[in-house]
Structure 1
Amino acid sequence: MEGVVHKEFLEQRQTVNSERYISTLQALKLRLRRVRCDKDSILQHDNARPHTSRQTQDALRQLDLTTLPHPAYSPDLAPSYYYLFPQPKNYMYLKGHHYDNDEEVIADVRRWCRAQPSEFFADGVRQLVKRWRLCVDRNGDYVEK
């Protein structure tokens, strides 16, 4: 709830498959060990194939990462969908800015993440709790209808 623990940027035209996602999970686990006690961390990811593959599920068990179940057809439960990614679009450096290369974009995104107070991230988690409750109350139906 206090901030971004781990971030990675893909090269252009690179896609996320199970192998790539497992590599990210391994890096995340190492980062959690370094920056905070990972026993209280819960990973939330959606039902994309790289997240649900047998290899990924095996890796999650091996890494001892606790995951929050994600109802099918509910992309609006991902904080990146409803909270995190829309925010930088309004960030004064990103909005309407043309970048000459990927490194400039990455630097601005990192700058934006560091500039957010811990309350910003805590608010995103609180909104997630509300959305989960709505989803459960609606038997897994979309939150934003």
Structure 2
Amino acid sequence: MDEKGERPPKKFKVQSRHRNLWRQFLDSEGVLLIDYLPKGTTMNGQYYANLLAQAREAVVQKRRGKLLRGVLFLQDNASVHTARVSRQALKDTGFSEIDHPPYSPDLAPNDYFLFSNLKKELRGRRFVDDNQMKMAVESQFDYKEKEYILGGLKALYTRYEKCISLEGDYIEK
């Protein structure tokens, strides 16, 4: 209250109406799995461990023989990825993990490649519900050619080489 006994005006924080969290698993041939976190659910180690099992099953179903040849797996060092249950689940998949330096968005394809392009393509669109948003996201991935995803992964290889030559310093472009 101020001196006159009046309440100060309320301040409102502007935020988006909906926020959706999803994880996608992809390889050089395209998207293997997209999982949308259900509203009211927290992404934790157990949830992520279940996703890893689903990702393994997607590889088995969509990329016959790839597990036998070996799967290299890249993820950042988020706490959900380093949780004990997640680490065990990753071992259970049989995937070989690629080391990812902490706090390195320049080495995360989602950050430098997928999401930036997805944002550009969906900019200005409004979705009436979550299903419409999911359909828009998935259609963006569906119409991408194999070369699009492969180009992003090749950029990852180039970025890793730069990171090594710069001894871990941040890469702008």
Compute the TM-score of the two structures, normalised by the length of structure 2: 0.78
Q: Give the Cα–Cα distance (whole angstroms) in 2 for the partners of residues 61 and 95 of structure 1.
A: 38
Structure 1 residue 40: deviation in Å? 3.1
Structure 1 unmatched ranges of 5 or more: none
Q: Give the Cα–Cα distance (whole angstroms) in 2 for the partners of residues 15 and 131 of structure 1.
A: 32
The aligned residue for residue 143 of structure 2 is 115
The aligned residue for residue 21 of structure 1 is 48
Larger RCO: 1 or 2 (CA < 8 Å, sep 6+)? 1
Q: 1:77 aligns with which of 84, 107, 130?
A: 107
Structure with the larger strand share: 2
Deviates more, 1:119-128 or 1:60-69: 60-69
Q: Say yes or no: does 1:6 pair with 2:33.
A: yes
Question: What is the aligned residue count?
Answer: 143
Q: Say yes or no: does 1:135 pair with 2:159.
A: no
Deviates more, 1:16-25 or 1:133-142: 133-142
Percent same amino acid among aligned pairs?
A: 31
Structure number, greater radius of gyration? 2
Structure with the larger helix share: 1
**CA offset digits 1:14-50 (Å, max 9, x no partner):** 3321111101100000010011122332111000011
Compute the TM-score of the two structures, normalised by the length of structure 1: 0.92
Structure 1 residue 137: deviation in Å? 1.3
The answer to whether the 8 A contact 1:72-1:140 is kept is no
Q: Give the Cα–Cα distance (whole angstroms) in 2 for the partners of residues 122 and 66 of structure 1.
A: 19
The aligned residue for residue 60 of structure 1 is 90
* Mapping 1:43-54, distance limit 5 Å: 43-54=73-84
1:125 alignment partner AA: L
1:61 alignment partner AA: K
Q: Give the Cα–Cα distance (whole angstroms) in 2 for the partners of residues 30 and 2 of structure 1.
A: 16
**CA offset digits 1:99-130 (Å, max 9, x no partner):** 11100000011111000000000100010001
- In structure 1, the residue corresponding to 2:171 is in which secondary structure? coil
Deviates more, 1:102-111 or 1:47-56: 47-56
Structure 2 unmatched ranges of 5 or more: 1-27
